[in-house]
Every structure is written in structure tokens, then in C-alpha cells.
Structure 1
Amino acid sequence: MALIGAPLSKSSISFSGAHLHPSSFRQLFPSFTTYDMDEDLDLQPLRVRDLGDVVMHVTDIVQCHRHIEQAFAEVTRRLPSVFPCLVGGDHSITFPALTGLSRSLGKRIGVIQFDAHLDVRDTQYGGRSNGTPIRSLVEEAVVRGEDIVTIGLRSFANSREYRKYAERQGITLYTSRHVHRQGMDDILHQAISYLGSKVDAVYVTFDIDVLDQSDVPGVPAIGPGGLSPYDLFDAARRLGEWDKTLAMDMVCVDPSKDTRDRTSRVSLHVFLHFMAGLYKRKQGESHRPARRE
């Protein structure tokens, strides 16, 4: 697994110190062990390497996005057996990262997005920002709308106009209330079954503002009625274990607005639970009998 930082938050449409998240994430890493008590797994044998941060331009957001795209294309091309994990940064980083990945692999890639927001703002109003990654992916034909599933959308955080746009593009939408009523297991089963038959691989993006404001005070767009950390941890573990998942990111954590690193700790636990799933996947692959020619 390769850890890559993208300390960019100038592209956020609201004030955000999310560029501080990669540093906070790394500082907290030694605070936790490698042992997953729920699964009785020790992740110690799983090799994780920190590749550092993508270089950000001081003022040029477009250049920053180009750097992220190039970095992901290079990592995918040069290290094909490595699973890349991008630590943002605001949500604008998902578009260039996935663009670089797609350019390098040439596969049909689907997206599972955990987010309170649709992220389909029109790029004509201010260019690419943390509110535009999903629309950018669709309009640049990097990902088909029908290959996108968004989970955790919150009421009074989106517009009807953008909902209609998402539905016209074929994007599958699950609100926070859907998750509370149906359960994350059921919704994730639907998403995996749906995308599994359509795409070659899946990119997972975790916008931490999908969680309730009581759990993550350090996100730029806090709001009540969000998902619980357990929902996100279970989803991360399951998607890490899924053999179609090829990369992931975590975005929109603002350490400058956090209290006692609560939000950064949640983000780190999303990563750890994802690693637990990935480790189970690798264990299964190592025990799989060799294919006869």
C-alpha cells in the first residue's frame, strides 16, 4: 500500500484548512497499534510505504491538479502491484487522481463515494473545486455516470437542480436516511452487486463530512443527521476486501477546526479498517491455488 499526500485546500469553495490533513494524519499514525481486535488480525506483515506529498503550486490550482494526475499515473504505471491511498486535501483532488489512474490503466472504472454532497456543481461557476469532482469525472468521460454510487447524502445540503443532474447522468444515490433505515450492510451489498457486473475496477472516495457533526467537528461542511463512524469503518473494511477496489482517498478534514484531533483520528481509522480488509484480501490471494495452464 502506498500513502500519498495531497495538501490542497485552495480549491475549496468554503474556508478549509484541509491542506493540513496529510501532516496531521502522519503525526497520529504512531498513536495506534496494528492489531484489529474485531477480526483478530495483526496488520504488521502488510507493507505500507509513505511516498510523501504531491508538490503543490503556491497559487495555481490547475497546476496542482496536474501534479496529482501525473503522480497517480506514474504510481500506477511504475508500481502496478501497489494499492495507492490518497490523503487530502479537499475533494477536488479526486478528479485528477482518478483521471491519472484511468489514463494509466485504460480500464472501465466505477466510483463509490461517501459524501453528504453530490459534488456535481457546474464548473462554469468558478472552475474545478471541492464541489465539482463527480461532475468533472462525468463530463470529461473519465467515469460514466451509471458507474457512480454516492452514499450518505444529507438533506438541506444539496439542491434539487443538482439532484436532477445526477439522476440524468444515471448516478445511484443513497441518502443518510437510507443508510439509517436499511443499514450500511444492505446498501453496500446493493452497490457492490450493481457495480461488480459493470466495471473492471472501483475507486473509493471518503469525504469525511458524510459523518455526523457530533463525531467530526473538523470538517469544513459540518451538519447533523450524518452517518456514524461505525457505518464508515464497516464500509471501509468491506471495500478493502473487495477485489475490484483498486484505490481510495480520504478528504475534507480540517485540523485547524478540529478538537483534540477527533476528526483526523476518524479519518485514520477509516484507513486502518480499509487496510484490515485489504489484508484479508491479500491473505485470500496467497492461499488461492495456482491456476493450471
Structure 2
Amino acid sequence: MYKLAQRDLWTGRIDSETDESQFRHFQTIQFRNIEDDYNEPRQGVGLLGYAVDKGVELNKGRTGAKEGPDAIKKVFANLPVTRKCNVYDYGNVEHDHQTLEETQEEFAHYVAKSIKRHKQTFLLGGGHDIAYAQYLGTREAYPDESIGVINIDAHFDTREEEYSTSGTSFRQILEEDDNADYLVLGIQQGGNTQALFDYAETKDIGYVYSEELLHQISPPIKDKVERFIHDHDVIMFTICMDVIDSAFAPGVSANGVLGLFPHVVLELSKRIIPNEKVPTISIAETNPKYDVDNRTAKLSANFFHHFIL
């Protein structure tokens, strides 16, 4: 179910009502209905929330991530505008269908619309089943291109199930699309079964362990990412906030220790996002129900703030 943006989320400190150099995002945000038609050149940034944690529930995780999109927007609203760019909040999609797949298909159609309108589209979760919906929307917008999926995550999320969950998105993509490949950065050995590593071998999934990314990104890993981007027409980029150490991001559906530091994730992302091949970026698994001092929502919002081109 599609819902228009909640305008009352967009509030914050007013440093000036006339000097744009002192504006914050709540003073410049624009609101639109994703279902309306607009005849404008491709511009600015589209923002769409996936207020869904049904996939987390089906994956036997901690629910609460459906509150993530609005929590992130509320923090982002008060951050200063440091680069002039129009941001359009299209609101959220909520789960009210009989199956999760139907909600993912609805969201995907809106993702495709935003891709066609904007230089960037940011998708805020919600469970990581947002990734399958993101893929469907990307494929709708780019029906013939090769898609490279880059996921910064502690988990492969390639479980085998008879239905869609937050743990199956990337298996669904690989099983359905021969013109798609998958690279995961931040894999934790303690977060994935041997069966998932075996599946990665079978499907030629590229991955980098979290311990290889502890303090800096080595030249071989930089080359691996750059080659992957070079080899595909379109890059679908997604971040699962549970890849970050729980000291920095406690508010996630499946928190873990020995995770990545936020600055490493930021540096990795900045090597991916500026490329013109990246039309969509999703941030998944922010779960306000388990957050501490709003840390995870703040981190997600600041990632978004840094990623705007």
C-alpha cells in the first residue's frame, strides 16, 4: 500500500529563513506523489521508503524495521544542506497484500518510475527484502542491460525458501536472471552456514570477509570493486546496516559483533556511488525498536547525506 510522505517528519532547527547557505534539508525538501506523471528532465534525488518488515518476520528475525524509513527521514531532515540538490520525498510503501511478493512488485514499479525521473533514487528500509524489490524495479527500468548487484552486508542472504523473505533476495535474483551477478562486501564467517558458502561457490558469487575490511580498503579489494563495476551496464547498490558493528549500529534486525566501522562502509560506498552506472541505493534493516540514542537512524541518515551527488 502506497502512502504519501508525512510532512510533519520534516522539521528541525532554523538558522535562517532567507540565507540558503544555512538551510537544512527540511527547508528544501519537496513532496510528490509517485503515481503522478511528470514531464521533466531527469534530475535530483528521489526518496522512497519501504516500511515493511514482513520479510524479517518470515526470516525469523527481530521485527520493527518497518519504522526505519520515517526514523531515517526525521534525522535527515535536520542535517544541513551542503550541496545544492533537489530531494523529492515520495512517501512509503507498506505491506497490506496477501504475500510479500505482491508488496515487492508494487514497490518495484515505483522504483522504476523514480529511476526514470531522477539521477539517483534512495530506498530506505525496512527489511532487506527491499533488495529483491529494488532489483525488480531496476530490471523494469533496464530490461536488457547486465546488472551487477553490490551488497555491503554481513550475510549472503541467499537462503533457499519457497517464498520471499529478508534472507532470500539475492538467491531470487541469481536464480531468475542470467544477466545479473553478485558481489558481497563484509561477509562474516560466523553469520553464514557452510551451505551458503557452497552456494556462493556454485554461483560464482564474489565476496570479501569483514576482517579484510577492518581498518582500510586494500588495493586488491579496490580493484575487485572497480572491475565488477566495469563489467556491468548497471549497478544495483544496497547496504544492510547489520554489517556495521553493533557498538555503532545497535538498531538492526540481526545485530552482530566484529562488524565493520562506519567510516569503512562510507569509504567503500564512495567508491561505488559516484559512478553514473548506479541509479539506486538502498539502506536496509534500520530498526528503531532496538536502537540506542537513535544511533542507527542517525548513521543511516548521515550515509544518505554523504551519498547525494
Q: Does 1:156 align with 2:190?
A: yes
* CA distance 1:10–1:228, change in 2 (3 Å): same
Partner of 1:109: 147
Partner of 1:273: 306
User: In the alignment, which of 186, 208, 211 is matched to residue 177 of structure 1?
Assistant: 211
Q: Which amino acid aligns with 1:46?
A: C
User: In the alignment, which of 55, 70, 74 is matched to residue 11 of structure 1?
Assistant: 55
TM-score (norm 2): 0.80
Q: Which amino acid aligns with 1:28?
A: V
Partner of 2:16: none
By how many angstroms is 1:185 displaced?
A: 5.5
By how many angstroms is 1:227 displaced?
A: 0.4
CA distance in 2, matches of 1:122, 1:230: 33
CA distance in 2, matches of 1:46, 1:64: 30
CA distance in 2, matches of 1:133, 1:165: 14
By how many angstroms is 1:28 displaced?
A: 1.1
Does the aligned pair in 2 maintain the 1:6–1:54 contact within 8 Å? Answer: yes
Partner of 1:288: none
What does the per-residue CA deviation read over 1:54-94, in whole Å, with 9 as the maximum and x for residues that have no partner?
A: 243165322211211221223234x2x43111001100111
What does the per-residue CA deviation read over 1:168-200, in whole Å, with 9 as the maximum and x for residues that have no partner?
A: 11110101011127x225365223322133111
- Percentage of pairs with the same residue: 25
CA distance in 2, matches of 1:264, 1:191: 30
TM-score (norm 1): 0.84
Count of equivalent residues = 261
* CA distance 1:52–1:100, change in 2 (3 Å): same
Greater helix fraction, Structure 1 or Structure 2: 1
Partner of 2:173: 137
User: In the alignment, which of 76, 86, 90 is matched to residue 29 of structure 1?
Assistant: 76
Gaps of 5+ in 1: 35-41, 279-293
Gaps of 5+ in 2: 1-44
What does the per-residue CA deviation read over 1:212-231, in whole Å, with 9 as the maximum and x for residues that have no partner?
A: 11111111211111100111
SS of 2:189's partner is coil
Deviates more, 1:241-250 or 1:185-194: 185-194
CA distance in 1, matches of 2:64, 2:129: 14
By how many angstroms is 1:31 displaced?
A: 2.7
Does the aligned pair in 1 maintain the 2:245–2:258 contact within 8 Å? Answer: yes
By how many angstroms is 1:242 displaced?
A: 1.9
CA distance in 2, matches of 1:273, 1:82: 15
User: In the alignment, which of 91, 103, 106 is matched to residue 128 of structure 2?
Assistant: 91
Q: Does 1:165 align with 2:199?
A: yes
What does the per-residue CA deviation read over 1:8-60, in whole Å, with 9 as the maximum and x for residues that have no partner?
A: 001111122000001101111233212xxxxxxx31x1111111112431653
CA distance in 2, matches of 1:197, 1:238: 12
CA distance in 1, matches of 2:136, 2:224: 22
Does the aligned pair in 2 maintain the 1:6–1:88 contact within 8 Å? Answer: yes
CA distance in 2, matches of 1:59, 1:259: 33
Q: Does 1:48 align with 2:87?
A: yes
